Structure 1
Amino acid sequence: MNDSDPPLSPTAVRAAGDVWIVFSRLRRRLRALDGEDDLSPAQAAVLKRLSQHGPASASELAAAEGVRAQSMAKNVAALEAAGLVERHPDPYDGRRRPVTLTERGREQRLGDLRARQAWLARALQEHGGEEELRAVVTAMALLDEVAQS
């Protein structure tokens, strides 16, 4: 914050703190629902990244996840052994072998996403009425706008 910023209202400060805490709790709870029980958090992160961003080399995955290339190579090998990812030679660079999700990897990832979304939808419905659910939708639109600014 610099001197030209307007002062923060107590409500804005409280809202920021509440959002931080609630998102942290929700993230932990949703991670606990992962169907990827036999995968490490790092391996689950690789599946998520490949699902969202498409094929990548092990070194690109390591850089994106902030881990050593050797650690990523072990994670990719374990995912490959489980049939969740595969590597193919790059037609333009024979030294590069991009990692891609297999159909099984895609299905597992999609099933996990659906399970988390269904749990959250049920929990929201159990704890709030239509008016409160609409307020959540409105709040999420505001938070999305903040995240993209």
Structure 2
Amino acid sequence: MSADRVNVSPSAQRLSVDLRVIFGRLRRKLLEVTDSDDLTPSQASVLARIGKGEAVTASGLAAVERVRPQSMATLLGSLARQGLVVRTADPTDGRRQIVGLTDDGRRRVEGGRAAREAWLPQLIEDRFTEEERQTLLEAIALLDRLAQ
């Protein structure tokens, strides 16, 4: 991707900035709602990824979270001390560790997911009229094209 902005309209530039800011704020708000006061955002993110099965090794988690393996090891150590994850040797490769959720970790992930799933629809219901919700649905379809 080039840093040069050839033929980029002011509206496209403004939209790109506004989208990044809004999505960042919404992501932080969703993390707040999960009632994870004792977890850092990084810890909450890693728990969620493990819960979704996105990465099951320490190195895989480091890659998807875009952190150094040493940083992920520290983060996983903290989550293990809190009783939320367990690390075991990979039966096919003893150098790798398989990371899984404990029962407490699974409850934390599922509780956070339930909190987010309840919070956002209620907020949308409370803050927007039906016409505005329909406009947002149309905007989401356009935003989906960005992700393709």
Matches within 5 A, 1:82-97: 82-97=82-97
- The equivalent of 1:125 in structure 2 is 125
Label 1:130 to 1:86 Cα distance change in 2 as closer, same or farther (>3 A): same
| Aligned residue-pair number | 146
Matches within 5 A, 1:104-123: 104-123=104-123
More strand by percentage: 2
> What secondary structure does 2:93 align onto?
coil
- The equivalent of 1:28 in structure 2 is 28
Indicate conservation of the 8 Å contact 1:55/1:100, yes or no: no
Q: What is the TM-score of this pair, normalised by structure 1?
A: 0.79
Q: Which runs of 5+ in 2 are unaligned?
A: none
Q: Which moved more, 1:133-142 or 1:64-73?
A: 64-73
- The equivalent of 1:137 in structure 2 is 137
Distance in 1 between the 2:61 and 2:8 partners? 39
Give per-residue Cα distances to partners, 1:107-135, cap 9 Å, x unaligned: 21121122123222122111112221122
> What secondary structure does 2:86 align onto?
strand
Question: Once superposed, what is the RMSD of the aligned Cα atoms?
Answer: 2.5
- The equivalent of 1:81 in structure 2 is 81
Quote the offset at 1:38 in angstroms. 1.0
Q: Which runs of 5+ in 1 are unaligned?
A: none
Give per-residue Cα distances to partners, 1:7-63, cap 9 Å, x unaligned: 455554444443333223222322222322111222122112212334522222223
> What secondary structure does 1:89 align onto?
strand
Label 1:68 to 1:25 Cα distance change in 2 as closer, same or farther (>3 A): closer
Distance in 1 between the 2:15 and 2:75 partners? 38
- The equivalent of 1:63 in structure 2 is 63
Distance in 2 between the 1:66 and 1:22 partners? 21
Q: What is the TM-score of this pair, normalised by structure 2?
A: 0.80
Q: Which AA in structure 2 matches 1:48?
A: A
Label 1:23 to 1:2 Cα distance change in 2 as closer, same or farther (>3 A): closer
Distance in 1 between the 2:30 and 2:146 partners? 22
Q: % of aligned pairs identical?
A: 45
